[in-house]
Structure 1
Amino acid sequence: MKKVGIIGGSGYIGSFITKLFLETGYQVKVSATDITREDKYQHLMLFPNTENLYISELNVTDSKQLEDFVTDCDYVIHGGTPFVLDFQDAEKELFAPTINGTINFLETIQRTKNIEKVVLIASVAGWNTNFPLPAEGKDFYDTFDETDKRFTSTESHPYAQAKFIANQVVEQFIKNNSKLSFEITSVSPVAVMGKALSNREDSTSNGLQFLIKNKIVPNDFIQFLYENDVPFAMVDVADVAQAVFKATITKGLHGKDYLLSSETYKVSDMHEMLNGREPVSSAKIVYKNDLAKRDLGISFRPVKETFRNQQ
C-alpha cells in the first residue's frame, strides 16, 4: 500500500485530497502544526478507511521534522500557504516563509531517497500576480494559458509576488537538478470555490464567498471588487483535489505546472449564484484548462453547479 504525505491535509483543499486518497486505498499521513488542536483535524476522522490515516505534528520550517514526516512516504503533496490579505510585515510574514519554506522543502525532499512524486499546490499568482485583474497587456476577458508569459509586478499584492518567486525557485531547482530520483509537478488553481468538508473558519475561500454572498465590505480590496464588478476565474475545490490526485499518481509529468480553472463570472453574478439566483451574465472562459483536461483527464464542473451545491 502506497503512502502519501499531505502537508496541509486538513485544510480547505487538503481535506478533499485526504478524503480522495483514503477512498482509493492509500495510507495517508497528514501534517498538523499543533497536534493538540484536534479541532483542526477531527473532521478527517469521519472519512472512510481512517485506519490508514496518520496525523503527525510538523513545523515545515524545521528541516528535521520535515525530513521525519516525508521519510516513509512514496508521494508528498505540499498544500502551499493560505492566502494572506492583511499583514504587518510583508518580508517577515509573506516573502521569507513562502520562499525560504519552498527552498527548505525541496532540499529536504532531495535528501529523501524513496520518494517517487512531489506535487506542489501553487497558485494562479505564479502565472499572474495581478489576479483577479488581468496580466499586463491583456483585457479582463483575454484568454490565458500555459503558453502565455508569466507576469509579475511590484505593484501586486506581496502574497502574490511571494508565490511567483516561489514558483521560480521550483523551476530553477528542476533546471539545476536534471537527474532527480523523483518527479515534481505543480498545479496552479485560480479562485477556489465550494463548500468545505469541515466547520473550520480559517478558510480564505469560505470567507470570501461569505463576504460576496452578503455584500460585506471589510477592507479596500473587497470594496474595489464590488465597485469595479471584477470578473473572477473560479474552480471547484473538489476538482482541484481530483487534479492533485491525478498529478500524483500519473507518471511522466515532471516539470509541468497546470492551470486549474473552470469559468469566469463577475462579482455581481457570484453574489446572485451564492444566493440561489441565476447570474445576469453568461460564463466566460478566461484561464484555459485544456492542458489539465488532456494530461490529467479532469472535467471541470460549471461554477453554477459549485454554488448550487452550497445551498
Structure 2
Amino acid sequence: MQAIKQKMQNVLGHHEKESGKGKTVLVTGGSGYVAAEVLRAFLARGYHVRTTVRSDETAEKVKKTHEKYLDQLSFAIVKDIAAPGAHDEAVKGVDGVIHTASPFQLNVEDNVRDLLDPAIKGTTSVLTSVQKCNPSVQRVVITGSFACMVDLSKGTRPGYVYTEKDWNPVTYETASKKETDGETAYCASKAFAERAAYDFVEENKPNFTIATLDPPMVYGPSLNAISDLSKLNTSSADIYRLMNGSEKTVPNTAFYAFVDVRDLGEAHVRAYESPAAANERFAITGSRYTYQQICDIIRREFPEKKHLVPEGMPGYDGPESYALSNEKARRVLEMEFRDLETTIKDMVTDFIATEKRLGKA
C-alpha cells in the first residue's frame, strides 16, 4: 500500500514539474509573504519565474528563500508599482502574469496616497503594460482580498454567506476622506483595484483574460526567513502577538474567515492554468475561525507557551457570524484547504523555531 501511495506521489510530482516546462511567468512583488508561496508553487511545477522587486538587496533575499530553484528564477527591478509604464520591461517575453503586489497596511497618513492609488494604479499599470508590450500573454491572475466582498457596515452578519457575487459597497468618496479609518480605506482600495481590472478588460478587449483571487485573513508558516520578530508581515504579526505575551485578553475577531498561505499559493497556479477560470473571481478560503479558537489551539498543543497565551473563554466559538463560501474554488479549481488546527500548529512551530534561531526563546 505504501509503495502504491509513493508511486502516486511520484507521478503527481512529475506532472507538476512538467506542467510549467518551457514557460515563464512574471510574479509581481516577489518578496512578499503570499508571493513567496506563489513563487514556490510555480517553480515546483517547472516554470521559469521572473519576479519584480524594489532593489537588488531584496532580490538577494528572495534568492535565499528559493535556493533550490535559482536556475529558474530571474528578477526585474520596479521601484514604484503605480508609475505609468513601470512594468513595461518586466512583462516582455513572459507567457503569463501573476500580480500580487499591493500594500497591506491599516495605519496610514493619507488614504489616497498610501492605499487607493497604489492598489488601483498598480493593477491597471500592470494590465496596460501587458496589453502594450506583450500581446502573447493569455492569462493574468490578480491577488485580491475578501475585503473586495465584505460589507463592513453589516458587522458580523449572522447567517449570511458571502460569495463571489458580493462586492464591498464603500464609495471612493468615502474611502478617500481623511476621517475614514484605515481598515475601511484598505478594504475599499482592494475592491476598487479588482473592479478596475474587470473594467480594463471590458473596455480594452485585450488578448488576455484575468482571474482574481479573494482570500480573507492569510495565515501559515512564512516561507521567507524571519530575521526580526518585531518586524513581521501583518498576517504573521496577527498570530505571533497571541503567543508572545503581548496580548492579555483574547482580541475581538475582525474577519471570520482564513486561508492557509500555502493553499493560496497553490490557488494562483490553478487559476493561471485553468481555462474555466477566465474572467472569474474566486473566494479562496479555508473555514471560519475566531481568535478564541486560535488561542485554544496554541494553549492545547504548545503547553510551553500556555502561560503567554490569553485564556479567554475556552471552547467558545462565537459570536455568530457570516460565512465565506469556497464552493466555487473547490468546483472550478479543484482546491482543497487545510483546516485551522493544521495551519496554526505549523505556524506556531515555525515561530518557536525562529525564536530559538534568533536567541529569543
Same fold (TM over 0.5): yes
Q: Which secondary structure state, in structure 2, belongs to the residue aligned with residue 83 of structure 1?
A: coil
Q: 2:332 aligns with which of 274, 295, 299?
A: 295
How far is the alpha carbon of 1:58 from its aligned partner? 1.5
Aligned ranges 1:161-172 → 2 under 5 Å: 161-172=188-199
What does residue 277 of structure 2 align with? 253
Q: 1:280 aligns with which of 302, 305, 315?
A: 315
What does residue 201 of structure 2 align with? 174
What does residue 70 of structure 1 align with? 91
What does residue 151 of structure 1 align with? 169
Q: 2:240 aligns with which of 210, 214, 223?
A: 210
Cα distance in 2 for partners of 1:290, 1:262 equals 10
* Gap change, CA 1:128 and 1:80, over 3 Å in 2: farther
Q: Which secondary structure state, in structure 1, belongs to the residue aligned with residue 56 of structure 2?
A: coil
* Gap change, CA 1:45 and 1:146, over 3 Å in 2: closer
How far is the alpha carbon of 1:282 from its aligned partner? 5.9
Which whole-Å deviations, capped at 9, do the CAs of 1:198-240 have from their partners, x for residues lacking one? Answer: 12444211111112334636xxxx99x82x4556311000110
Unmatched tracts of structure 1, length 5 or more: none
How many residue pairs get matched?
A: 299
* Gap change, CA 1:89 and 1:55, over 3 Å in 2: same
| TM-score normalized with structure 1 length | 0.87
Which whole-Å deviations, capped at 9, do the CAs of 1:79-135 have from their partners, x for residues lacking one? Answer: 0313101111112111122222222222112112121210000111111152xxxx6
**For the aligned residues, what is the CA RMSD?**
2.6
- Counterpart amino acid of residue 143 in structure 1: V
**Aligned partners of 1:136 and 1:151 also within 8 Å:** no
**Aligned partners of 2:209 and 2:278 also within 8 Å:** yes
* Gap change, CA 1:27 and 1:276, over 3 Å in 2: farther
Q: Which secondary structure state, in structure 2, belongs to the residue aligned with residue 118 of structure 1?
A: strand
How far is the alpha carbon of 1:285 from its aligned partner? 7.9
What does residue 234 of structure 1 align with? 258
What does residue 54 of structure 1 align with? 74
What does residue 118 of structure 1 align with? 140
How far is the alpha carbon of 1:269 from its aligned partner? 1.6
How far is the alpha carbon of 1:190 from its aligned partner? 0.6
Cα distance in 2 for partners of 1:185, 1:192 equals 19
Greater mean deviation of Cα atoms: 72-81 or 272-281: 272-281
How far is the alpha carbon of 1:271 from its aligned partner? 2.0
Cα distance in 1 for partners of 2:112, 2:40 equals 35
Task: Indicate the percent of aligned positions where both proteins have the same amino acid.
Answer: 23
The structure where helix makes up a greater share of residues is 2
| TM-score normalized with structure 2 length | 0.75
How far is the alpha carbon of 1:38 from its aligned partner? 4.8
Q: Which secondary structure state, in structure 1, belongs to the residue aligned with residue 343 of structure 2?
A: helix
- Counterpart amino acid of residue 298 in structure 1: M
**Aligned partners of 1:58 and 1:66 also within 8 Å:** yes
- Counterpart amino acid of residue 325 in structure 2: K
Unmatched tracts of structure 2, length 5 or more: 1-21, 175-179, 303-313, 350-361
Cα distance in 2 for partners of 1:70, 1:180 equals 15
Cα distance in 2 for partners of 1:5, 1:182 equals 14
Q: 2:118 aligns with which of 73, 97, 109?
A: 97
What does residue 5 of structure 2 align with? none
* Gap change, CA 1:138 and 1:88, over 3 Å in 2: closer
- Counterpart amino acid of residue 52 in structure 1: Q
**Aligned partners of 2:164 and 2:282 also within 8 Å:** yes
**Aligned partners of 1:4 and 1:27 also within 8 Å:** yes
**Aligned partners of 1:118 and 1:248 also within 8 Å:** yes
Cα distance in 1 for partners of 2:131, 2:299 equals 47
Which whole-Å deviations, capped at 9, do the CAs of 1:183-205 have from their partners, x for residues lacking one? Answer: 11100001000000112444211
How far is the alpha carbon of 1:22 from its aligned partner? 1.2
